[in-house]
Structure 1
Amino acid sequence: YWPSSIIEKVRANKEITLTEGARQTVGLLYKDNQGQFVILVSAYDVQAHKRLYTLSIIMLLLFIIVSGALYFISRWFAAKSLEPIGVVIKQMKSIRASNLNQRVDEGSGRDEISELAMNFNKLLEHLENAFDLQHAFVINASHELRTPVTSLLGDIEVALQQPRSANEHEQLLHRLLNDSKRLKETVNILMEIARADRDYTKANLSPIAIDDLLWELQSYWTDQLGKSALKIEFLQLPENQENLLLTANKSLLIIALNNIISNAFKFSNNKPVKCILLADDSHIDIHIKDSGIGIPATEQDKVFRSFYRGSSAKTYPGSGIGLYVTEKIVHLFDGNIQLQSVPGKGTTFIITFLIKK
């Protein structure tokens, strides 16, 4: 049954094991007093092969079951992890031009989905403010231009109805002059809103030194009202001068600050106005303080509304749009604006910007 080569191999090695197909063979060299004998034994392990077959079937079934379980578990985890994205997408789809004040849920985590929602909300805020400025321009144009133009036309028509004396012509010319001044002021306001809207939509940002900007404003108001009109005070400055740099649009900042300063002069009959700077390594505060008529406590939360004019401001010229535009601009650069006022003593506007590290 076995070739001589196998027998000789057993004699040489004294003991061997080998596989012949499905059979296992053992060879052994046996010595006794009668001589040396080569013993070869071969067998087929039926039970081992059955166990191996059963084990392979079990492993195959386990592989199928585990793979299926992993598939469905991974699908469940994927659905749960993508669920916040689905909620955000659903909320995004519900936002239209008519409800730009709506915001998507930012969640409570710090993952990529929350960051996406926060950036989308910032974009919505910018769009809302831009739409509000455009809406304010259109409404203000139709509302403010109509009154002085109608008054001008009425005075001219009355003057042409019959001959007038020199005194009557003088009075008429005074009224026309006042209406013309009001019309000019209205046009200037509209130009300011249009400029703010243009810069707002462009949003060209650059580092601006707040202290230098305040000196520029003082120079401007010195040319307008005199040397001591706008007083600048630096009560606190940071050790690092770079913390006086604010990433913003310079034109918009000038519009926002000048709106407050011009109101301060107007409602105080051109009395000196203080502009105080307090800054450290975490924030920049700008206080603009006047000694004017003040704002009643019941009206202080309304002054930033579009076209709102307080009861004490009715006798002063204006459109009620300046502070509205100012608040929009301050919020654009992640700032905050608030006021403190005592009727008859004056008002202080406080603008705060946080330093972004």
Structure 2
Amino acid sequence: MLIRHKLMLRFTLLVLAIQLGFSAFVYYFSANTRALRFQHRLVNSATLAGRLLVRTHKLETGRLGSLRRGDLLTLPGEEISIYGPDNSLRYSSSDHIDQLANLARLADVGPGQQLSYPARGRRETVALAFPPDSARGYYRIFVSAEDRTGRAQLRQLSLLLLLANLGALLLTIAAGWIFAGAALRPVSRISRQASRLSATNLGRRLSEGNGRDELAQLAQTFNGLLAGLEQTFEAQRSFLSHASHELRTPLTGLIGTLETALAYDATLPEARQSMAQSLEAARRLSALTNGLLNLAKADGALPAFVPVRLDECLNQALQLVRASYPGREWRLAFQALPIETEADLFTLPGNAELLTTALLNLLDNAGKYSSGPVRTEVAYADAQTLRLRVRDEGPGLTVEELERIYEPLYRSAHALSRPGYGLGLPLTQRIIQRHGGRLELTSTPGQGTTATVWLPAAPL
């Protein structure tokens, strides 16, 4: 079901429920008021009969004079029955009144009481003791009648409420349709604008309307997503451009060397020199391919994490870089360690191979560019976070270079003269992110670079 139809249906049902509740209240209030008003009229009729017949002692003497039975009847279908103190019938307005019901009610009517009884069909009945303040010698008067006018008015009210609800229902459906259309019009506009977006025009943005309501927030969220997609596409285009260039260089050299060797090498030394050059180009190509595969592996599915010692991964990485840079000084310090704990320090859930690779890349970059000692610090930032910091004394990075340093195959100006392909930091960042951590680089040109890693630690 379309959202417009859902909104219209819910709006209609809500308004209909309110209408029916209000109509039921009006009908109940009117019916209750009619019953009380007619009951009051019956009581007045009974009181009048008591004053004319009981108080004048006409029932005691049996002399009604010129009073006829019909003279006391003022209501449609009215019937009056009067019983004396001895429970005998002293007066009835008609010979056809069912006195069995009145006789069954005699015991209920005590001194000063006034009772009303549930209606039988359309006939409603009240009974009272007269005089109301007499403890003995009182009469019981029963009066029943039909409220034809009141019930007719109640039927008219029912018909009016029915027609009003039907009319209001039609108007509510129309209003719901218009309201849903107006409410969803900005959504339709956003949908049309989004349908015109593609990979070639990700720079376009959706209209944010008034900038305050929920639809504006939705448009802002889409625009943020588009900005991220645009950056991703730009990074992918840059990656493809750099990758094609980096792959083309060793491939071109390899093919050129082999073609030259095939055409001109006539002696074994010449052939061996061509083979050596081809082998070096193949090694560069293999190293670049392995770097790209590792980058893809870091983005793929990882095996289940197990408890890993960060200090052991760091020691393995330090052994490797010491062998690669034997003339470099490597300093390691442990700081801000928990004083009282029985748990294993520097433990975190992760993958030891990937963490060792990430730390090796950070140390390798520091050793490659630093002109002085490389300082590595390991500490607890807090009880739940491990912090590792690698500082070098290299040429540093500019602000513009720091903004692009995590792009695959991007290399800073000082890195162009050094071996590498610009895959180490992007790979390191993704490995740390997959472990729930964060990598931050700070640098000052001419003073060096500091890489700081935060990783979630196992509970102490």
Code of the residue aligned with 2:149 in structure 1: it is Q
Which residue of 204, 215, 235 maps to 2:335? 235
Aligned residue in 1 for 2:375: 274
Q: How many residues align?
A: 336
Query: Contact 1:209 / 1:246 at 8 angstroms: preserved in 2?
Result: yes
Query: Contact 2:347 / 2:458 at 8 angstroms: preserved in 1?
Result: no
Code of the residue aligned with 2:368 in structure 1: it is K
Asked if 1:56 is matched to 2:143, the reply is: no
Asked if 1:5 is matched to 2:100, the reply is: yes
Comparing 332-341 and 227-236, the one that deviates more:
227-236
Q: SS where residue 257 of structure 1 aligns?
A: helix
Which residue of 323, 337, 341 maps to 2:440? 337
Alignment of 1:199-214 (within 5 A): 199-204=298-303, 206=305, 208-214=308-314
Shift of 1:202: 1.0
Question: Separation in 2 of the partners of 1:330 and 1:93?
Answer: 36
TM-score by length of 2: 0.53
Code of the residue aligned with 2:317 in structure 1: it is L
Query: Contact 2:239 / 2:409 at 8 angstroms: preserved in 1?
Result: no
TM-score by length of 1: 0.64
Aligned residue in 1 for 2:285: 186
1:140–1:283 CA distance, 2 compared to 1 (3 A): farther
Seq. identity, %: 19
1:145–1:228 CA distance, 2 compared to 1 (3 A): closer
Deviations 1:193-222 (A, max 9, x none): 213312421144626443343233224434
Q: SS where residue 202 of structure 1 aligns?
A: coil
Asked if 1:320 is matched to 2:422, the reply is: yes
Show structure 2 runs of 5+ residues with no match: 1-95
1:331–1:142 CA distance, 2 compared to 1 (3 A): same
1:51–1:296 CA distance, 2 compared to 1 (3 A): closer
Comparing 95-104 and 227-236, the one that deviates more:
95-104
Question: Separation in 1 of the partners of 2:180 and 2:252?
Answer: 62
Aligned residue in 2 for 1:44: 146
Q: What is the Cα-based RMSD across aligned positions, in Å? A: 5.4
Question: Separation in 2 of the partners of 1:89 and 1:246?
Answer: 45
Shift of 1:23: 1.7
Aligned residue in 2 for 1:139: 244
Question: Separation in 1 of the partners of 2:404 and 2:160?
Answer: 77
Query: Contact 2:247 / 2:288 at 8 angstroms: preserved in 1?
Result: no
Comparing 347-356 and 274-283, the one that deviates more:
347-356
Aligned residue in 1 for 2:451: 349
Question: Separation in 1 of the partners of 2:345 and 2:201?
Answer: 37
Q: Which has the larger radius of gyration?
A: 2
1:91–1:224 CA distance, 2 compared to 1 (3 A): farther
Question: Separation in 2 of the partners of 1:319 and 1:151?
Answer: 22
Query: Contact 1:256 / 1:325 at 8 angstroms: preserved in 2?
Result: yes
Query: Contact 1:7 / 1:38 at 8 angstroms: preserved in 2?
Result: no
Code of the residue aligned with 1:21 in structure 2: it is G
Alignment of 1:64-213 (within 5 A): 132=236, 135=240, 139=244, 142-150=247-255, 152-153=257-258, 156-157=261-262, 160=265, 173=273, 177=276, 180-204=279-303, 206=305, 208-213=308-313
Shift of 1:141: 6.5
Code of the residue aligned with 2:147 in structure 1: it is D
Code of the residue aligned with 1:195 in structure 2: it is N
1:176–1:244 CA distance, 2 compared to 1 (3 A): same
Query: Contact 2:321 / 2:367 at 8 angstroms: preserved in 1?
Result: no
